[in-house]
């Protein structure tokens, strides 16, 4: 239960955390955008205006913002600087493990290729490692459902190649994009191929009420894929039609972790408020559900903010928060050695905070 003697915001900041759902292009900070504007000789306010969803807007308007961001982050230098900035800002928020995702882009006007895009992100991660930042970063190659199955296959080939050449710094694929475009069922062969190659899967599913495609993907992938569900907002919404029980049963039976993005869902109008967010539904079932930012710049939040919102809404105290943070480690895509190191970091933190027995 909540402990009135502590400052929840401060404790949530100091708490070691993992971030498993962060999109590169929307994880900028206003500080970084202003620095990029000055570097490119652009008026700062003209550059940064309307690049943050300050109020709730339909999902369609959010995707319009993402298109504008892609027009800004289109050079090798911009991608490198953005990646470094995002990593450092998460480290400052005491995120100890970050899985960062982005769609590799082909931009002829700047000479950007898909391979160069991802290699630039890899270079930024390695340079941050050399600086000794206290954060472990891994990358996911994103598949944008709007671009179709053939481009998805190219993304899997690239992810596979990079997984081998980076000794696992790239460890999986993300499936995302406008959920109103296309059918995720068409991508099932791509998902299964990725899994056969040893790639992990983070799949945006049930972000909006799409029962059939979500059920089809879960049924096809749950047995043979190491996977998590991005958002999963409508997995449990029986009020939207019959049959959702079957979908929920699959998630519970296979213990498929859910990446929960509270602020993002509220601002995108798929959830009303923290109190009605599906985080509580799944957490109350002791099912793995991991708080994430989605895009900390676009949605104006930090991972500390997400922890604080949930702590205040549901009465979490220090012990609850540390126990929860420890539980999120089980859902990372890295192996046992990294998981054990993260657990030890959290236990040491707990000892310093006089939270024993976890």
For the annotated catalytic residues, the residue numbers are: 207
Residue for token pair 């199955």: 149
- How far apart are alpha carbons 178 and 171 in whole angstroms? 23
User: DSSP letter string over 198-252?
Assistant: T-EEEEEESSSS-HHHHHHHHHHHTTT--EEEEE-TTTT-GGG-TTHHHHHHHHH
Query: How many degrees, rounded to 5, is the angle at CA 232 between CA 226 and CA 235?
Result: 105
3-class secondary structure, 19: strand
Sheet of strand 258-260, all strands in order from the earlier edge strand to the far edge? 17-23, 95-102, 136-144, 170-176, 200-205, 227-231, 258-260, 289-291
Q: Token pair of 95, please?
A: 């995120």
- How far apart are alpha carbons 27 and 88 in whole angstroms? 11
Q: Enumerate the H helices of 27-140 as residue ranges.
A: 30-39, 44-48, 59-72, 76-92, 114-130
């Amino acid at each position: 239960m909540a402990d009135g003697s502590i400052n929840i915001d401060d404790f949530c900041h100091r708490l070691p955390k993992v971030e498993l759902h962060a999109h590169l292009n929307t994880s900028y900070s206003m500080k970084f955008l202003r620095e990029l504007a000055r570097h490119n000789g652009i008026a700062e306010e003209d550059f940064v205006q309307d690049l943050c969803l300050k109020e709730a807007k339909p999902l369609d308007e959010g995707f319009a913002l993402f298109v504008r961001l892609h027009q800004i982050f289109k050079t090798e230098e911009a991608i490198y600087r953005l990646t470094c900035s995002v990593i450092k800002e998460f480290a400052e928020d005491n995120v100890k493990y970050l899985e960062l995702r982005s769609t590799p882009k082909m931009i002829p006007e700047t000479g950007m290729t898909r391979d160069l895009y991802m290699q630039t992100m890899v270079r930024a991660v390695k340079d941050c490692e050399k600086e000794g930042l206290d954060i472990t970063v891994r990358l996911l190659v994103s598949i944008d459902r709007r671009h179709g199955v053939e481009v998805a296959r190219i993304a899997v080939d690239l992810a596979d190649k990079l997984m081998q050449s980076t000794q696992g710094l790239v460890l999986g694929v993300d499936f995302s994009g406008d959920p109103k475009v296309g059918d995720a069922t068409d991508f099932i062969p791509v998902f299964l191929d990725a899994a056969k190659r040893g790639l992990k899967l983070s799949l945006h599913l049930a972000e909006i009420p799409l029962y059939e495609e979500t059920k089809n993907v879960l049924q096809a992938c749950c047995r043979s894929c190491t996977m998590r569900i991005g958002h999963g907002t409508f997995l449990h919404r029986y009020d939207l039609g019959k049959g959702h029980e079957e979908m929920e049963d699959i998630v519970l039976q296979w213990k498929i972790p859910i990446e929960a993005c509270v602020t993002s869902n509220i601002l995108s109008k798929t959830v009303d408020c923290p109190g009605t967010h599906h985080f509580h539904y799944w957490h109350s079932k002791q099912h793995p559900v991991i708080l994430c930012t989605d895009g900390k710049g676009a949605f104006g939040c930090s991972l500390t903010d997400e922890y604080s919102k949930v702590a205040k809404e549901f009465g979490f105290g220090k012990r609850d928060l540390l126990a929860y943070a420890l539980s999120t480690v089980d859902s990372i895509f890295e192996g046992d050695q990294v998981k054990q190191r993260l657990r030890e970091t959290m236990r040491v933190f707990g000892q310093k905070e006089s939270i024993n027995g976890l």
